[in-house]
A and B are shown apart, each in its own frame.
Chain A
Amino acid sequence: DAEITQSPRHKITETGRQVTLACHQTWNHNNMFWYRQDLGHGLRLIHYSYGVQDTNKGEVSDGYSVSRSNTEDLPLTLESAASSQTSVYFCASRSSGTNEQFFGPGTRLTVL
């Protein structure tokens, strides 16, 4: 079955360290997205990609970057982790035809 996976599922890091969260999908979707979810804010879009070599900023992109070298993967990098980036991060992929979007299981990141 096609799926979307994220790793690690839990991560504790220190302020100032670079962190990369992995996202891998086997749906063969061109569209991939990264969100963070915090109490009181709901799901907020960080970055997204509509295909290989395409990346776009979302509403809360500062301090984050992505790269898309193949269809299956969209890693999210925190260049210099800050305590404000403690959150739950969800990756998602979406069918271009139906717009149905599916989420990965999430990564809980704690920045100390």
Chain B
Amino acid sequence: QKEVEQNSGPLSVPEGAIASLNCTYSDRGSQSFFWYRQYSGKSPELIMFIYSNGDKEDGRFTAQLNKASQYVSLLIRDSQPSDSATYLCAVTGNTPLVFGKGTRLSVIA
């Protein structure tokens, strides 16, 4: 059974701080890793993907991957109230994506 684990939260951070979201996965054959943002009542929106060990930066977002530890994270710098949402981690090895249940982030103004 392939599993993706996330802390459900809520994770509360003050505006302007760094939010750190974490995810672990069970399948060592996983090759592609994704972060989705989902606002309440909306569909998941792809915000980051990473395929190689290390960091990948896109604007205020940084995805970090450590395949040896089977760990992927998302850092959000200068957090804004508009970042308040549920963040879903997803993993695949060319099979259907396996999703975590998501971490709810609340950015406090």
Contacts and interface: CB of A to CB of B under 8 A. Distances in A.
A42 B100 contact: yes
A100 B46 contact: yes
Nearest to A91: B43
Interface residues of A, number: 19
Interface string B28-45: 000010101000001111
Contacts of A64: none
Q: How large is the interface on B (under 10, 10 to 19, 20 to 34, 35 or more residues)?
A: 10 to 19
A100 B46 CA distance: 8
Interface string A77-112: 000000000000010001000111111111000000
A4 B90 CA distance: 20
A41 B88 CA distance: 12
Contacts of B32: 99
A10 to B, nearest CB: 12
A76 B4 CA distance: 26
B94 interface: yes
Nearest to A35: B99
Nearest to B44: A103
Contacts of A58: 96
27 contacts: A33-B96, A33-B97, A40-B101, A41-B101, A42-B88, A42-B99, A42-B100, A43-B99, A45-B96, A48-B96, A58-B96, A90-B43, A90-B44, A94-B97, A99-B32, A99-B34, A99-B92, A99-B97, A100-B46, A102-B46, A103-B43, A103-B44, A103-B45, A104-B43, A105-B42, A106-B42, A106-B43
